[in-house]
Amino acid sequence: MTLAAAAGLLAFLPETQASRGFVDFAYGWGSFQPGADVIGSSQSLGLGNSLLGHLGVELGSNKSKIRPIIGVQYRVFGATDSSDTTHLLQTVTPLMGLAIGKIWIEFGATPFVWNRSSTSGLGFVTGYETVVTHLGARVEAGYHYDFSPEISLVLAGGTQMFLLTTDQSIDGQAIDGTIGLRFWIGGVGHSARKAGFFGEDEGLDGYEGWRYPFGRGQ
Residues 157 and 195 in one domain: no
For residue 32, what pLDDT is reported? Answer: 82
Plot region of 135 (φ>0 → left; ψ -120 to 50 → alpha; else → beta): beta
Residues 77 and 175 in one domain: yes
**In-domain check, residue 100:** yes
pLDDT in tens, the chain (218 residues): 444 544 454 444 444 456 889 999 999 998 887 676 777 666 667 788 899 999 999 998 767 789 999 999 999 988 887 777 788 889 999 999 999 989 999 999 999 999 887 766 555 566 788 887 889 999 999 999 988 888 999 999 999 988 888 887 888 888 899 999 999 987 644 555 555 555 544 444 455 555 554 444 44
Reference 27, options 151, 180, 176, 174; nearest CA is 180
**In-domain check, residue 28:** yes
Tell me how far apart the alpha carbons of residues 211 and 218 are, in angstroms, rounded to a whole number.
9
Tell me how far apart the alpha carbons of residues 52 and 116 are, in angstroms, rounded to a whole number.
17
Residue 46 sits in a domain whose CATH number is 2.40.160.20
- Note the pTM of the prediction, 2 decimals: 0.75
Residues 98 and 166 in one domain: yes
For residue 134, what pLDDT is reported? Answer: 86
Residues 55 and 106 in one domain: yes
For residue 203, what pLDDT is reported? Answer: 45
Residues 63 and 154 in one domain: yes
**In-domain check, residue 6:** no
Number of domains in the chain: 2
Residues 107 and 95 in one domain: yes
**In-domain check, residue 4:** no
Residues 23 and 84 in one domain: yes
What residues make up the domain containing 208?
190-218
Coil, helix or strand for 7?
helix
Residues 163 and 182 in one domain: yes
Tell me how far apart the alpha carbons of residues 99 and 97 are, in angstroms, rounded to a whole number.
7
Tell me how far apart the alpha carbons of residues 112 and 165 are, in angstroms, rounded to a whole number.
12
**In-domain check, residue 155:** yes
